[in-house]
Structure 1
């Protein structure tokens, strides 16, 4: 297949583009700037989705749309321009191509625990971040198209520059203080499992629709973080703060940041993601995409 991959310079987009090129697909990765993603058997083109439709060669069998602004404190206009409007631009730029859209579990209601949520439980009607809201609106842009929407949660693995590195950066002294000490269940998503889901979604025989994507079985978030600390040889222990107190503190920090036109140390969205259960029902992906994910694995995490 001839496949376009947007957001190829990012963690997810780069992994997807490389895996597809390794599988002998004709891949063109797209990103906003140079230097970009590279692969010995693939091409790279500069394209900023916010500047309008792609010009030049647009003949592709499929497009994997990974580009996005993953920032829970981004100004609403900026988040909408990249995530919602950018998705609209992708749809217009690749007429007739099968679209695999990388969405997120953040489209579910973050105000409450997500316990084995199913695809029909989202998108929510209320949001804790502009990221969640704009990604929900991005899904609406795909209505009536031949699109497969994937909703992973907490993507991690080799090349991750956001999830686990940010948590490790929160260590102060020998303490990592988290809401509820992270004693909550999560459906994490290893990058290899997400790539597997993309490859299954690209198969023309699979149906369009929306699918939760995650590792084989939910895990206790605190146990995962303790293993990461151990593998990284970081001498620190996890301590907890009650969820209600953490959420209220984050709200105060957000208000102060708005007044100062700065960025808060943490957000209510971040607290909600760390201190509440976030588990996904992946039965639909197993059945309709023939998705067979591996269990959560931190093998090699000491080198990530």
Structure 2
């Protein structure tokens, strides 16, 4: 199959592009960084999806759209340009291709816990970040396309540049403070499981629509983080702050950041994502795509 992968210079896009190339597909990776992805059997081209210039696009059967601005404190206009307008550009550039869109569980209501939430949950009408709001708008760009939308939660694994590195960076003097002490259940998504979901979504017979994608079972966040820290040789005691208090503190820090133009040390989005339950019903992915995820695994994390 001829497949284009946007965001190939990033963590998820790079993992997807490499896996598909290794599978024998004819992959063209696109990204904003020169030499951002390499594979001996495939090609890479620089493409800013919303920029004035477009490279020569090879004909493809499908597009895996991974490019996104995954920053919960990004200016709204910039997040809109990259996430919504970038998706619009992909749809227009490949009008006859199947699109596998890497969305996010953040499109669900971040003000409340997600408890085995289904894909047909009432659409969120309020958002805690420009990232969440514009990822929801990006999905709307696919209403008339042959598209499979994948909604992972907290993707981790080899090459992760966001989730687990931030956890490491938050350790202070042998202590890690988490909203709610990390007791909330979370269904994370190993990047290998997400890649498997992409493979299934690329099948011509895969039904279009939105699908939750995650590891097989939820775990308390603190147990995952504690194992990760131990594998990385970091000694840290996990302590807690009440989630409601952390949310209020983050709101205060956000207000101060808007006044000073500086990034807040803590955001309400981060508190929401860490301190509230985030679990997902995977039945649609299992029955319609044939998705069979494994359990959460940190095997090899000492080398990530």
Report what 1:8 is aligned to: 8
How far apart are residue 56 of structure 1 and its match? 2.0
Q: Tell me, yes or no, if the aligned pair for 1:54 and 1:93 is still in contact at 8 Å.
A: no
Report the secondary structure of 2:132's partner residue: helix
Report what 2:38 is aligned to: 38
Report what 1:125 is aligned to: 125
String of CA shifts for 1:213-233, please: whole Å, max 9, x gaps: 001111111100110111111
Report the secondary structure of 1:121's partner residue: coil
1:282-293 matches, cutoff 5 A? 282-293=282-293
String of CA shifts for 1:171-202, please: whole Å, max 9, x gaps: 00010001001101001000000000000000
Q: Tell me, yes or no, if the aligned pair for 2:188 and 2:214 is still in contact at 8 Å.
A: yes
Q: Tell me, yes or no, if the aligned pair for 1:99 and 1:147 is still in contact at 8 Å.
A: yes
1:1-304 matches, cutoff 5 A? 1-52=1-52, 54-121=54-121, 123-304=123-304
**Counterpart Cα distance in 2 of 1:198 and 1:124:** 25
Q: Tell me, yes or no, if the aligned pair for 1:53 and 1:92 is still in contact at 8 Å.
A: no
How far apart are residue 123 of structure 1 and its match? 3.7
Report the secondary structure of 2:29's partner residue: strand
**Counterpart Cα distance in 2 of 1:86 and 1:57:** 15
Q: Tell me, yes or no, if the aligned pair for 2:257 and 2:264 is still in contact at 8 Å.
A: yes
**Counterpart Cα distance in 1 of 2:258 and 2:288:** 45
Paired positions, count? 304
Report the secondary structure of 1:28's partner residue: strand
Q: Tell me, yes or no, if the aligned pair for 2:63 and 2:100 is still in contact at 8 Å.
A: yes
Unmatched runs of 5 consecutive residues or more in structure 2:
none
How far apart are residue 53 of structure 1 and its match? 7.3
**Counterpart Cα distance in 2 of 1:95 and 1:60:** 10
Report the secondary structure of 2:50's partner residue: helix
**Counterpart Cα distance in 2 of 1:82 and 1:223:** 34
Q: Tell me, yes or no, if the aligned pair for 1:107 and 1:122 is still in contact at 8 Å.
A: no
| Structure 1 range deviating more: 48-57 or 138-147 | 48-57
User: What is the RMSD computed on CA atoms of the aligned residues?
Assistant: 0.9
**Counterpart Cα distance in 2 of 1:157 and 1:67:** 18
**Counterpart Cα distance in 2 of 1:52 and 1:207:** 34
**Counterpart Cα distance in 2 of 1:204 and 1:40:** 27
Q: Structure 2 length normalisation: TM-score?
A: 0.98
How far apart are residue 33 of structure 1 and its match? 2.1
Q: Tell me, yes or no, if the aligned pair for 1:190 and 1:215 is still in contact at 8 Å.
A: yes
Runs of 4+ in 1 over 3 A off after TM superposition: 52-55
String of CA shifts for 1:143-183, please: whole Å, max 9, x gaps: 01100000000000000011001011100001000100110
Q: 1:76 to 1:303 in 2, by over 3 A?
A: same
**Counterpart Cα distance in 2 of 1:27 and 1:37:** 11
